[in-house]
Homo-oligomer: A and B are copies of this chain.
Amino acid sequence: MMAIERVAIVGLGLIGSSVARAVKERLPQVTVVGHDAKAEVRDIARELGFCDIIADAPAAAVADADLVIFAVPVGGMADAARAVAPGLRDGVIISDVGSSKAGVAAALGAALPGHIVIPAHPVAGTENSGPAAGFASLFEGRWCIVTPGAGAPEDAVAALAGFWQALGARVETMDAAHHDMVLAVTSHLPHLIAYTIVGTASELEEVTESEVIKYSAGGFRDFTRIAASDPVMWRDVFLANKEAVLATLQRFNEDLTVLQQAIRRGDAGKLEDWFTRTRAIRRSIIEQGQDDAAPDFGRKH
């Protein structure tokens, strides 16, 4: 297996800084070099000390690295890759943490021809962003999806998978197009719906914004968490994964029409059946350790 002794992380926000922190905690023998395009972020990263070295120049950041991880918004991957290109050594593994994969694979491949590119996506996060929002345990028990292209060397794929496992993640491999369809359902569509409903609620004439806020404990507040996620990151995700998002959105719209009709017609049986089926899914998520069983996510009351 290829040894990873030096990791470069480009983009030191929530995910990049969490990877750095997790490496420091779980792989203390590995050297972590960090870089962010923003000087302010580099300063905060230096202060917080979650990297061994913070490099001001992108090419310097990746020098001698065995693994480079791009942790920037998916629309920024190509720029970030071009900026580090002059500093890359032969045989380095290029990877990323972007929330969509087919577009990122193409962008990294085009920006870094001749390099080993193995895209990945840790399915973990919070609504916060920036270098102060990260934490070492973010990936524990969560899945990291690795999407190697056809020509990816097996030892490099194994090394990357081993790296994520060392950070506490479980690893699954699939092709990029399938990843984008799965995540359209489990992440992108939920974010789109949450952004929509929070927008709708804040612009009704009949109900004031202050009422929406006061009575949000009725369910609405659950949606506001993910609708507070980083606007640039999510803008990029929807643009990058357009086809899969629009396809799942169409299915959602069809189902919503079915329920809308059931309400209009007073079809009690249809509503009760539907609401009974959806309960089972949550039980499975809890059983498989993907959510907290405590009521209300364990919120303090």
Interface residues of A (CB under 8 A from B): 99, 123-128, 133, 135, 137-138, 140, 142-143, 145, 172, 181-183, 185-202, 204, 206-207, 209, 211-229, 231-232, 234-235, 238-239, 242, 245-246, 248-249, 251-253, 255-256, 259-260, 263-264, 266, 268, 271-272, 274-279, 281-285, 288, 290-292, 295-301
**Contact in complex: B301, A299 (CB < 8 Å):** no
**Contact in complex: B278, A228 (CB < 8 Å):** yes
**Contact in complex: A251, B186 (CB < 8 Å):** no
**Contact in complex: B220, A186 (CB < 8 Å):** yes
- Known: A187-B220, A190-B218, A301-B135. Is A195-B259 also a contact (CB below 8 A)? yes
- Known: A185-B220, A206-B181, A222-B190. Is A127-B268 also a contact (CB below 8 A)? no
Instruction: Give the residue name and chain of the B residue nearest to A211 (CB).
Output: B182
**Contact in complex: A215, B282 (CB < 8 Å):** no
Instruction: Give the residue name and chain of the B residue nearest to A273 (CB).
Output: B231
Could you say which residues of chain B place their CB within 8 Å of the CB of A124?
A: 217, 301
Q: Which of A223, A242, A275, A288 has the largest number of chain B CB atoms within 10 A?
A: A275
Give Cα distance in the complex from A242 to B261, angstroms: 11
- Known: A227-B282, A285-B216. Is A266-B239 also a contact (CB below 8 A)? yes
Task: Give me the 10 closest cross-chain CB pairs, A-B, nearest first.
Answer: A187-B218, A231-B275, A126-B295, A190-B219, A228-B282, A224-B282, A198-B278, A297-B297, A227-B278, A186-B220
Copies in the complex: 2
Give Cα distance in the complex from A223 to B278, angstroms: 10
- Known: A207-B185, A292-B299, A296-B225. Is A278-B202 also a contact (CB below 8 A)? yes
Could you say which residues of chain B place their CB within 8 Å of the CB of A221?
A: 282, 285, 290-291
**Contact in complex: B232, A272 (CB < 8 Å):** yes
**Contact in complex: B200, A248 (CB < 8 Å):** yes
Sample of 15 more A-B contacts, CB < 8 Å, known A195-B259, A291-B299? A125-B217, A138-B301, A183-B218, A185-B207, A190-B218, A198-B278, A200-B251, A200-B252, A200-B255, A213-B285, A221-B285, A225-B297, A232-B272, A292-B300, A297-B298
Q: Nearest Cβ distance between residue A239 and chain B, in whole angstroms?
A: 6
Could you say which residues of chain B place their CB within 8 Å of the CB of A259?
A: 192, 195-196
